Amino acid sequence: RDAARAGALATVPLRARKGRASYLGERSIGHQDPGATSSALLFDALAETGDAAGGAE
**Separation of alpha carbons 14 and 29, rounded Å:** 5
pLDDT of residue 55: 61
User: In this structure, is residue 57 part of a structural domain?
Assistant: no
pLDDT of residue 44: 93
Comparing 34 with 57, the larger pLDDT belongs to 34
Distant-in-sequence, close-in-space partners of 50: CB < 8 Å, separation ≥ 6? none
User: In this structure, is residue 39 part of a structural domain?
Assistant: yes
Distant-in-sequence, close-in-space partners of 15: CB < 8 Å, separation ≥ 6? 25, 26, 28, 29
For the chain, the domain total comes to 1
pTM, two decimals, is 0.75
> pLDDT of 1-55, one tens digit each?
889 999 999 999 999 999 899 999 999 999 999 999 999 999 999 999 987 777 6
> pLDDT of 33-42, one tens digit each?
999 999 999 9
User: In this structure, is residue 7 part of a structural domain?
Assistant: yes
**Separation of alpha carbons 53 and 7, rounded Å:** 26
